[in-house]
Structure 1
Amino acid sequence: MTRSRQEDRETMAEVELPNPHELEEIKEKAFTRKVAVVTAIFAVVLAIASLGGTYNMKEMLMAQQQASNQWAYYQAKVIREHLYRSQKMLLETLLLDRGASMKAEARGRVEGMIKTMGEEEKRYNLEKK
Structure 2
Amino acid sequence: MRIMLVGRPHADTAAQGRMLAERLGVPHLVVDAASGATDAAFTERELAPHAAGFVLEGFPRDLAEASALDDVLGRRAAEIEVALYLRPAGSAPTAAEDALLEHYRRQVVELDAEGGVEELHERVLAALREALVAA
TM-score between the two structures when normalised by the length of structure 1: 0.17
Structure label with greater radius of gyration: 1
> Which structure is higher in strand share?
2
> Which structure is higher in helix share?
1
